[in-house]
Structure 1
C-alpha cells in the first residue's frame, strides 16, 4: 500500500547531534495540522454547570429540593415493654389470725425440741396457704393447733412404723429394721420368703442387694469363711474375707464401744479447798471432780516441797521425785493457787527435769512458767528465758527462736545468761565452732544440760569441717581442745564410736594422730543423720 511521504513524521536526529532548523519547523507544522484535524469537542460546551444565583435561603418554588437517596432498611418490630405487675392488694388480717400469731410466739407455748426457725417456717406456710385459698376468715384460728404442735405431729408421723410385705400381707415394722437388713441377710435371719412376694415382684426373685450376695444351694447366704475355694488354694480366708467377717460381727454386736464420756467438772462452785494432811501422795490423773479429802492445802504443800528437796539431795530417785512433783502441781491447779510459791514449785521441777534430760516434764513446767512470769509473780524469768533460747537451738525451731528474740528487751540482753545464749546462737549461725565450744565450757546456771543434748551433732559438724581443712592428718590433742573434750581418751572414744573410726587413729612418736585424709565422707554422713530428726517429747 502506497502512502504519501508527508504522512510520515520526520525522523529524530541521531543521538548526540543537534536537530536542524528545518526539521524543527517541519515538526511544528505537523503538530498544528493534527490539532486542526481534531473535532472541537468542547466548543460550545461550557466546562461547568450554570447555577442560578440564590436570592434567599428558601428553595425556588419551581424547583423541588434534591435529596440524596438513602437505602431503605427493614423496619424492626417494636420491643414489647413489660407491663408493671399490678400492685398487691393490701390484706386485712383478721383479729383471730393476729391472736394466733401472738400465741405461736408466746414463750410459754414454745418447745425446746422445736427450733424457732422450724416453727416460723410452719407458721408462714399455714398463713400463706390460707391466704391463697381465701380461707382466712373461714378457718377456726382459735382451735387450730399451733405451728410448733404441727411440727411435733409431723415428726411423730415420720417416726411411725412403715408397713412392709411379709407372707402375702402388709405388716408394720420399725424404720430401724430396714437399716439392719444387711446384717440379717448376712446372718441368714431374713424372714422374707421368696415365694410370698407380692404379684408385682414375682418376676424378680431377688432384691438389688441379694444379687450381690452369694447364696448356698439351700437358698441361704453362703458363709464367706466356708466358701469352697478352687483346688490348690489354701482354705484360710484371705484378708478381704477377714475384713468382711469383722464387719459382720460388728453388726451382730460382736464389737462394743468402750468409749466413755469424759466427766464434766463443776466449776461453778469455785476452787477446791484441800483437807488432806499427808506430805506424800502419788499422782493420779483426775477422772472426776477432785475430792477435798484427797487434796492438800497450801501450808501442807510447802512442807511437802521442803521434804522433797531433802529427799532429792539424799536419794536422787527421779521416778519418785517426778511423781511427787506432778501430784504437788495438781493440788496447786485444782485449788487455783497462783503465787510465788507456785513459781518456785515449777522452777524446781524444771531444773530437776533438765538435770535428768526429761524434756517432756521440762516443757510442761516451762509453759506454765511463761504464764506465771507474765503475771509478775516473781521467780527467775531471766534464767528460764536463756534456757528457752538454748532449747529452740536444740530443736532447730527458728520461727519460735525469732519470736523469743523479738520479745527480749535491751535490759534483758545485757543479762549474763541471756547474753551467753545469744552468743551460742551467733556462733552456730556463723559456723564458728571454736567459739561455740569455748561457750560450751563456760555455761552459766544449768544451760550446760541443754547444750549437752545437741553438742554431739555440733561436734560431728566441726569434725567434718576439720577433716576437709586439715590434710593429711591432725593431732588428737588438737581435736580435744577444739571440740571441748575433757581428755584425749574421751575424744578418741567419740571417734571410735563410728564405724571405721579405729582405723583413722594412728599412734606415733609425737602422739596420736587423726588421719583426716582417710575419713572420706564418714563424718558428713553421721552429721546429716544427727541433724535429720530430733525426737522431742512434750514439745512446747
Structure 2
C-alpha cells in the first residue's frame, strides 16, 4: 500500500477531506473555525443573521455624553475645598451624596437650569438630614400626648405579660433546677443552714431561679429601702435631649478695644464679643502699641482674642486676611513657629476664597518653612500648585532658588541668596542656616587639607565678619580647631575637623518637631 507524499497532502483543501466525497456530503455539516476560548452561545439564542455572528467585535453604539456646565464643575470644586469640609461627615458619604445630587439633576432635566452657586453642598445636606431625623424622632415620642410609664408601672406590665406567656413546662423546669430545700416551700428553714463560699455566691443562688423582671423588681425594692426616701412613690424617666439648633453667627456688642483671650467652653456671649468696626480700631491700636513697646506676650494674647471674635461672628473678609498676616509676621519676628503655623493654615483657606492679601509672600514662606522641616512630601505639593505667574514673583523665585541650591549642594550660591532674602524670609532662613553651615564646613574640611584661612570660611558661609565665623566654630566646641599664625592670620585645621563637623552635621539633621506644624 502506497502513501501520498507530503506535497500531495498539502495541496488538498481541508474541507475537501470531508465534503468532496459524495457519501460524506450528507453526513457532516460545515462549522466555522473557532477564534477564541469563550464558551459558544447555545443554539437559538441569537436571531440575527450570519453576518452579525461573523463579526463579534462590531462596535456597539456609543452612549450620548453628558456635557457638564461650568457651574457644576465649580460646585464640585467647592464640595471638595478644604474650607468647606465637615469633620462630622465622612468623605465617602459626601461623595455618595454628591453623585446623588448631580444624578437627580440629570434625571429630571434641571442640570443647566439649576442655580449651582446657591445650591447647598452635599455635606450641608447630610448634616441637615441628620438634624431633621433627630427632630422627627424626638417629636414622635410625644406626638400622641400620652406621658411615658413610670418605672414601677413598666416593671409591673413586663412581669404580668411575662407571667401570662410562661408555660407550665417552664415552671416545671424551674422547679427541677431549684435545690430540694427550696422547691417545697418559699420559706424553708433548711435554706439558712447551707454554707456558701462567700456572700456574693449566696446572693446569686437566691436569685438564680428568678426571671429578669423579678430580678429587676428586687433590685429596685432593695435600692428603694436602702437609699430612696419613703415618700417618693415613683420615679419618672427623663425625656430625651432636644437636638441642638444652629442659631447662626453671633453679633457682638462689646466696645472695648483691648480684651484678653480666653478659650471658649460655652456659647459666646454677644456682650463680650466686639463687632467688626471695633475690631478694625483694635487692630490699628495694636499696631501702634507693637511699634512702641515690642511686648510679644501681650500682643499675641490680644491678636488671638481678635481672631476669636472674627471666628465666632463668621467674618471672612479682606480684614480677616490682614489680621492673620499681621499676627504671622509678628510670630516670625519672634521665632514663634507654633503661632505662625496656625496663622499660615488659616491663610491658606482664606487665600483660596480670593479675599486679597499677599498670597505670594506667604507661599514663599511656606517653601522656606518646608526646607527647615525637611518635609519633602509637602514641598512637592507646594511646587505642583505653583503657577507660571507665581514662579516669577521675586519672593517665590528666591525661595525656589534657595531650595535648588541646597538640592545641588551649591553652598556658595545658597549663602549669597541668604544675604539677599526679601520680606521676612530671613527670619525663617535663620532657623536652618546654622545647620547648612555645618554641612558646608564638613565639605570644606574634606576638600581643603591641611588647613584653610578663616577669612575664606567667612566669605563662603555668609558671615558678616571673621569674629562671627570664629564664634560659630567655638559654639560647636571647636576651639582647638582654630590656629593663629603670624600677623594675626587665623586658620581652620581642616585635617583635624573632618570627623568633628561630620558628627555635628548628623546631630543638626535630627527630626524637627514643631508645635502646630502645618
Note whether the superposition's TM-score is higher than 0.5. Answer: yes
1:523 counterpart = 2:467: no
1:380 counterpart = 2:358: yes
Structure 1 residues 437-490: Cα deviation after superposition (integer angstroms, max 9, x where no partner): 010000010000000111111011110111111100000011111111111111
- Matched residues in 2 for 1:275 and 1:293: separation? 5
SS at match of 1:532: coil
**Which of 398, 410, 413 is equivalent to 2:391?**
413
Give 1:507's aligned residue: 484
SS at match of 1:439: helix
Q: TM-score, normalised by structure 2?
A: 0.56
**Which of 247, 253, 256 is equivalent to 1:275?**
253
- Matched residues in 2 for 1:205 and 1:412: separation? 82
CA shift, 1:509, in A, is 2.2
Give 2:449's aligned residue: 471
Any unmatched runs of 5+ in structure 2? 1-135, 143-153, 164-177, 184-188, 203-241
CA shift, 1:533, in A, is 2.2
Contact 1:265 1:288 (8 Å CA) reproduced: no
Contact 2:182 2:191 (8 Å CA) reproduced: no
- Matched residues in 2 for 1:422 and 1:463: separation? 23
**Which of 417, 440, 450 is equivalent to 2:418?**
440
Give 1:539's aligned residue: 517
- Matched residues in 2 for 1:487 and 1:155: separation? 97
CA shift, 1:532, in A, is 1.2
Alignment of 1:130-529 (within 5 A): 153=158, 205=197, 268-499=246-477, 501-509=478-486, 511-529=489-507
- Matched residues in 2 for 1:492 and 1:475: separation? 11
Contact 2:254 2:273 (8 Å CA) reproduced: yes
- Matched residues in 2 for 1:346 and 1:369: separation? 7
Structure 1 residues 122-181: Cα deviation after superposition (integer angstroms, max 9, x where no partner): xxxxxxxxxxxxxxxxxxxxxxxxxxx99x9499979xxxxxx9xx989xxxxxxxxxxx
Structure 1 residues 66-122: Cα deviation after superposition (integer angstroms, max 9, x where no partner): xxxxxxxxxxxxxxxxxxxxxxxxxxxxxxxxxxxxxxxxx99x9769xxxxxxxxx
| Inter-CA distance 414–267: structure 2 relative to 1 (3 Å threshold) | farther
- Matched residues in 2 for 1:409 and 1:265: separation? 46
Structure 1 residues 327-358: Cα deviation after superposition (integer angstroms, max 9, x where no partner): 00000000111001000000000000000000
| Inter-CA distance 518–267: structure 2 relative to 1 (3 Å threshold) | farther
How many residues end up aligned between the 2 structures? 312
CA shift, 1:521, in A, is 0.9
| Inter-CA distance 153–302: structure 2 relative to 1 (3 Å threshold) | same
| Inter-CA distance 438–205: structure 2 relative to 1 (3 Å threshold) | same
Structure 1 residues 392-417: Cα deviation after superposition (integer angstroms, max 9, x where no partner): 11111100000000000001101100
CA shift, 1:534, in A, is 1.0
CA shift, 1:519, in A, is 1.4
SS at match of 1:337: coil
Contact 1:275 1:293 (8 Å CA) reproduced: yes
Contact 1:266 1:289 (8 Å CA) reproduced: no
Higher mean alpha-carbon deviation, 510-519 vs 318-327, is at 510-519
- Matched residues in 2 for 1:477 and 1:397: separation? 34
- Matched residues in 1 for 2:384 and 2:480: separation? 48
| Inter-CA distance 323–397: structure 2 relative to 1 (3 Å threshold) | same
CA shift, 1:537, in A, is 1.1
| Inter-CA distance 520–413: structure 2 relative to 1 (3 Å threshold) | closer
SS at match of 2:450: coil
CA shift, 1:196, in A, is 8.8
SS at match of 1:519: helix
Give 1:260's aligned residue: none
- Matched residues in 1 for 2:374 and 2:276: separation? 39
- Matched residues in 2 for 1:267 and 1:416: separation? 49
Contact 1:265 1:289 (8 Å CA) reproduced: no
Structure 1 residues 207-244: Cα deviation after superposition (integer angstroms, max 9, x where no partner): 9999xxxxxxxxxxxxxxxxxxxxxxxxxxxxxxxxxx
More helix by share: 2
Contact 1:360 1:537 (8 Å CA) reproduced: yes
CA shift, 1:198, in A, is 7.1
Give 1:221's aligned residue: none
- Matched residues in 2 for 1:460 and 1:156: separation? 84
- Matched residues in 2 for 1:209 and 1:497: separation? 73
Q: Between Structure 1 and Structure 2, whose CA radius of gyration is higher?
A: 1
SS at match of 2:484: strand
